[in-house]
Amino acid sequence: MNKNLMVCAGLVAALAGGIWGGKYWAEQAQTGTAAEALPARPYAKAEPATARPAPSVLALPPGGFDPDVVKTATFSAQTVTLDTPTPGKLAYNVQQAKLASARVAGRVERILVYEGAKVSAGQPLAELYSPEYIAAQNEFLLSHNAYHTLSSSDLKELLDDARLTMQSSENKLRVLGATAADIARIRERGAISETLTIRAPIAGTIVKRDMDQGSYLNVGDSLMSIIDTRVIWFTGNLYETDIKGVRLGQAIEVETPAYPGRRYTGRVSFIAPNVDADTHTLQVRCDVPNPDGMLKPEMYATARIVTGNAQALVVPQSAIVKDQGKLVLMTMPDEKHVERVLVQGTPRSDGTFAVTGGVPFGAPLRVVTQGGMLLNEMLLKQES
């Protein structure tokens, strides 16, 4: 009997548990369905931030600014010559370079001039001992003597042959480097010269020597390099924004730190066909006359390439404020305000700045010439 009671009690417990579990899961299902039926609440969209315009007008404090700190002046527009400042260096004009070389093999017996010497065209540079040149002189003397011996005879055909032989030997001497004066001297003396004189092909400066005394020169070997320094090269680099204003033949002015205040004029002779991949600049080359020889290769220099004329407001360089790559000019539209104006322009060689855009040119304009950076900082603090 106890066993039957225990079985009945277990069945009752199981039945009660099933009823409770079914009720629980039914309530959960109804709750989920209700949740799914509710509309989803949208996220709030962020309003786009509106950039506050930078202030451009600053009110003067009572009594104004200290006149020792902030100074102003009035300027009017004028026609100015626009130029593009281009930094660079000076170099030899290699188009005016020549090599003094040997036309015949031989040994350098004596060097007459050295590096740095200024020479004139035809000036002796060195003496060369050459067996081939000596043989050519002997050949010339024999043909010359034979011609004069036959000139008093009636043997016309032999005389013509002797004359042709003499002319051929004379031309051979010229090919080997002998001048007309050298050949005349051999003819008059009736004797050979022990050495051949190597002469300067052009007037200029000895910039390099390739041989020492006692060295052996083969045909075509360079003895010295000579460059005419009366015209020198300026080589500079233009930024991409300045390329459009430069063309061949354009006038330039060159200044060097070595000679402050002195300007040399020249012209653009070469514009590179491509922009440098690393610096994104364009190389230009200018021919600069150097009659007094004061300009030296490797000197640093600045060329100002003249690009035309324009109306501009010429102000001191101190009036221009550089702010994050922009050029700012502080102006005074009236007695109680300072206005911040973005301008365009270019620096000039006399220490001024030509403002070519950003300001009106119709009437005189009052400009802050000193203290503009301080006023610009005050405007920026006013913004914050």
3-state secondary structure (DSSP) of residue 203: coil
User: What is the C-alpha separation between 26 and 358, in angstroms, rounded?
Assistant: 78
User: What is the C-alpha separation between 379 and 375, in angstroms, rounded?
Assistant: 6
3-state secondary structure 118-178: EECCCCEEEEEECHHHHHHHHHHHHHHHHHHHHCCCCCHHHHHHHHHHHHHHHHHHHHHCC
Nearest to 190 by CA among 148, 153, 161: 148
Residue 361 has what pLDDT?
87
Q: What does the pLDDT profile of the chain (384 residues) look like in tens digits?
A: 444 444 444 544 444 444 444 544 445 544 444 444 444 444 334 344 444 444 588 888 887 888 888 999 999 999 988 778 889 999 999 999 999 998 999 999 999 999 999 999 999 999 999 999 999 999 999 998 888 888 777 777 888 888 899 999 999 999 999 999 999 999 999 899 999 999 999 999 999 999 999 999 999 899 999 999 999 999 999 988 888 888 999 989 999 999 988 999 999 999 999 999 998 899 999 999 999 989 999 999 999 888 778 899 999 999 999 988 889 999 998 888 889 999 998 888 778 899 999 998 888 999 999 998 988 888 877 766
Start-to-end CA distance of the chain, whole Å, equals 95
CATH number, domain 86-94+230-308: 2.40.30.170
Residue 41 has what pLDDT?
44
What DSSP element (H or E) covers 198? strand 196-199
What DSSP element (H or E) covers 226? strand 222-227
Residue 120 has what pLDDT?
94
**For the chain, what are the domain ranges?**
57-80+310-383, 86-94+230-308, 99-227
DSSP 210: -
Residue 239 has what pLDDT?
87
Question: Is-above-0.75 flag for pTM?
Answer: no
3-state secondary structure (DSSP) of residue 6: helix
Assigned CATH class of 99-227 = mainly beta
CATH number, domain 57-80+310-383: 2.40.420.20
User: What is the C-alpha separation between 126 and 128, in angstroms, rounded?
Assistant: 7
The DSSP bridge pattern shows strands 300-316 and 251-255 to be antiparallel
**217 close to 106: Cβ distance less than 8 angstroms:** yes
Give the DSSP per-residue string, 82-108: EEEEEEEEEE--GGGEEEEE-SS-EEE
